[in-house]
């Protein structure tokens, strides 16, 4: 009888311990989900990019990669395991200009478990995403009549009648084009520097998308000067 009673007590303790552990795990998972659901999201415009994975010794692993979001605040890793991907496939938005509802964070990239080795740094998660269009060319004329024509593969500079230096024509990659586009789109849609027509010292910016285009006359301002300097340094 004593042995039966002892076995019964051991079984009860095991069951209680198991339930407690299970509840801890469930609470932990619930808390993780709650944390994700309760974060604050804001709408941003930018480009979804993809980069091949780099292993510990610096080699590119081309069959694997990560998605990033490039916008006015910089380039951020997208932590897909925490994103609301129920109604979207991130592959469909690769190199596309999008409107995306994001939340920025800093922490583990590859897991939510602090006991597992992971890359660490700033990242975003998203709740909603919608394609705006795909940029294909940027044409810019600065206040000195110097002209730039920029595509995802090429950067062309044609100096104007003033001392604009030598013409340049060279190849670029999609990463640099995306960076230039984000800066150009931000200026072209900035109502504080846009004007109705071209005047002395102003700039003219035209962005071509796959299915549309936007154009803007930009007032002579610190914003325009910063953009001029940025392009000048690239050439």
12-40 pLDDT, tens digit each = 344 334 333 333 333 333 333 334 556 88
- Cα–Cα separations (whole angstroms), residue 138 to 76, 85, 103, 155: 23, 31, 29, 10
Residues of the chain with CATH 2.40.50: 40-132
Instruction: Say if pTM beats, i.e. exceeds, 0.85.
Output: no
Tokens of 9: 């007590």
Q: Could you tell me if 135 and 141 are in contact, meaning their C-beta atoms sit under 8 angstroms apart?
A: no
Q: What is the 3-state secondary structure (H, E, C) of 76-98?
A: EEECHHHCCCCCCCHHHHECCEE
Q: How many residues does the chain have?
A: 235
**9 phi-psi bin (left φ>0, alpha ψ -120 to 50, beta other):** alpha
The Cα–Cα gap between 103 and 170 comes to 37
Q: Could you tell me if 185 and 138 are in contact, meaning their C-beta atoms sit under 8 angstroms apart?
A: no
H or E stretch covering 216: strand 213-218
Q: Could you tell me if 101 and 127 are in contact, meaning their C-beta atoms sit under 8 angstroms apart?
A: yes
The pLDDT profile of the chain, 235 residues, written as one tens digit per residue, is: 444 444 444 443 443 343 333 333 333 333 333 345 568 899 999 999 999 988 778 788 888 899 999 998 999 999 999 998 876 789 999 888 999 999 999 999 999 999 999 999 999 999 999 998 889 999 999 998 899 999 999 999 999 877 678 999 999 998 899 999 999 999 999 999 999 999 989 999 999 998 899 999 999 999 999 999 999 899 8
- The helix-helix angle for 174-188 and 222-234 (nearest 10°) equals 170
Could you tell me whether strands 74-78 and 120-133 are parallel, antiparallel, or unpaired per DSSP bridges?
parallel
Q: Does domain 40-132 have CATH number 3.30.1450?
A: no
Tokens of 118: 């992971």
């Amino acid at each position: 009888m004593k042995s039966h009673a002892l076995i019964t007590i051991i079984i009860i303790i095991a069951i209680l311990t198991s339930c407690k552990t299970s509840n801890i795990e469930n609470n932990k998972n619930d808390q993780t989900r709650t944390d994700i659901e309760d974060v604050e999201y804001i709408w941003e415009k930018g480009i979804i990019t993809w980069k091949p994975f780099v292993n510990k010794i610096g080699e590119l692993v081309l069959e694997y990669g990560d998605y990033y979001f490039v916008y006015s605040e910089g380039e951020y890793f997208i932590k897909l395991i925490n994103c609301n991907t129920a109604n979207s496939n991130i592959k469909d938005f690769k190199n596309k200009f999008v409107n995306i509802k994001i939340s920025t964070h800093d922490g583990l990239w590859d897991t939510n478990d602090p006991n597992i080795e992971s890359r660490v740094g700033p990242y975003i998660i998203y709740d909603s995403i919608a394609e705006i269009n795909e940029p294909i060319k940027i044409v810019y004329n600065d206040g000195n009549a110097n002209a730039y024509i920029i595509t995802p593969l090429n950067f062309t500079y044609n100096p104007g009648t003033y001392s604009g230096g030598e013409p340049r024509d060279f190849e670029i990659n999609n990463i640099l084009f995306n960076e230039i586009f984000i800066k150009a789109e931000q200026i072209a849609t900035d109502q504080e520097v846009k004007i109705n027509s071209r005047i002395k010292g102003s700039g003219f910016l035209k962005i071509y998308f796959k299915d549309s285009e936007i154009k803007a006359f930009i007032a002579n301002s610190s914003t325009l000067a910063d953009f001029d300097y940025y392009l000048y340094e690239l050439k």
